[in-house]
Amino acid sequence: MIWRRWRQLRDPTEPQREDRPFEDLIEEAPVAALLLDRDSLVVAANREARDLFSIDAERLPLGLVEATREANLHAALRTGQPETELRLGHRRRQVRTRVVPGPQPGQSLLFVTDVTELRRLERVRQEFVANLGHELLTPITSLRLAIESLQGDPPPSVRQEVLSRALREVDNLARVIGNLRQLAELETGAVAARRDRFEVHGLVSEVLQRLDLSRPVEVEVKVDEVTADRSKLGQALANLIDNADKFSPPGSPIEVHAAEQAGSLVIRIRDHGPGIAPEHWDRVFERFYKVDPAHSRGLPGSGLGLALVRHLVAVMGGQAWTEAAAGGGQVFGISVPLTDSTAVNTQSPDP
């Protein structure tokens, strides 16, 4: 009775038929399921399987390879192992498979679970732990050397230099830990976006004054007042400009462009550095990720600046991205929805 009522709620136009709870359960299962006969022909596929492999149920039965276009599935089935993990070549997905006896003699059910995102998160976690260990070990090693130097009772001038170096390393440690704590707060939703009314040009000028860069910065602001979270936007902007400064050749300018587009404040920061290969664009906002570790070694910073940008902007309902700049260099952009549609444009933004 429960299955009949459930089918009627799901599709009132479906004709009445006898209760088949097993088939209904498999059809709605949140994992791809293929029903195979004794010759390994696919005789049925549930909704998840039809979506994953683009199977036309009217064409069944079909061979496993013909139905899924995945030879690796057939190869895994032939091993006789009840469970395995493999890569789908046609769809570029990592999956786990499990084979169990089917409802009829000679039949078997092949369950296919997409674990692509799970494996990606595991890789990110492993890289994060390794990178965090490296970022913490560097200042700790420097502190240990400083302490060992002080144990030798050095002259006052040397003692002062060693103490200054140790203080810098303590500040670096505090910065890494502080950034990690802020990231955790942003990720858990413990921080909410504020509503501030402010001038964008004034915010950009304030950030540049605080950074005090030794290179030219070309600023073009095409929007006047907006309503958004001034503090979070200022921190994201400072991190992006600081990142551009680190990877730009000496003396080359940084370009800052801000405009209101389609109800959002869009800010782009361009550098004239070597640029970033497209395969790294999605990952540069991960914690401690380095496109070129050899080039990044020795540069100041906690390795968390871009990760903070992504999360700060996300709290405001926006997004962060990067792209190649025309003529060389890299552009980092953020887009933040304006909570007040009365943003004042000083000029018409570029299309």
pLDDT at 29: 86
pLDDT digits over 40-89, tens only?
899 999 999 999 999 998 898 999 999 999 988 888 888 888 999 999 98
How many other CB atoms are found less than 10 A from the CB of residue 326?
8
Distance, in Å, from the CA atom of 125 to the CA atom of 135, rounded to the nearest integer, reads: 15
pLDDT digits over 152-166, tens only?
788 888 888 888 888
Question: Above 60 in pLDDT, residue 211?
Answer: yes
HSE at residue 122, side-chain half, CA atoms within 13 A, is 6
Distance, in Å, from the CA atom of 250 to the CA atom of 34, rounded to the nearest integer, reads: 60
pLDDT at 345: 45
Say if CB 75 and CB 88 are below 8 A apart.
no
- pLDDT: which is higher, 297 or 226: 226
pLDDT at 14: 57
DSSP-derived letter for residue 93 is E
Question: Above 50 in pLDDT, residue 4?
Answer: no
Percent pLDDT > 90 in the chain is 41
Distance, in Å, from the CA atom of 43 to the CA atom of 35, rounded to the nearest integer, reads: 6
pLDDT at 175: 78
pLDDT digits over 10-50, tens only?
556 655 555 565 677 788 888 999 999 988 899 999 999 99
Reported for 160-163, long-range contacts at CB under 8 A and 24+ positions apart, including other chains, are: none
pLDDT digits over 223-275, tens only?
989 999 999 999 999 999 999 999 899 999 999 999 999 889 999 999 999 89
How many other CB atoms are found less than 10 A from the CB of residue 324?
14
Cα of 166 vs its chain's centroid, Å:
34
pLDDT at 8: 52
Distance, in Å, from the CA atom of 118 to the CA atom of 277, rounded to the nearest integer, reads: 25
The verdict on pTM exceeding 0.75 is no
Distance, in Å, from the CA atom of 48 to the CA atom of 57, rounded to the nearest integer, reads: 12
Domains and CATH numbers, the chain: 31-114 (3.30.450.20), 119-187 (1.10.287.130), 196-337 (3.30.565.10)
Cα of 299 vs its chain's centroid, Å:
23
Question: Above 60 in pLDDT, residue 295?
Answer: no
- Name the E strands within 46-195: 62-63, 83-88, 93-101, 108-114
Question: Above 90 in pLDDT, residue 347?
Answer: no
pLDDT at 236: 95
pLDDT at 351: 38
* H or E stretch at 259: strand 254-261
Question: Above 50 in pLDDT, residue 1?
Answer: no
> 90 Cβ partners below 8 Å, 6+ apart?
69, 70
* 264 closest CA partner among 202, 204, 340: 340
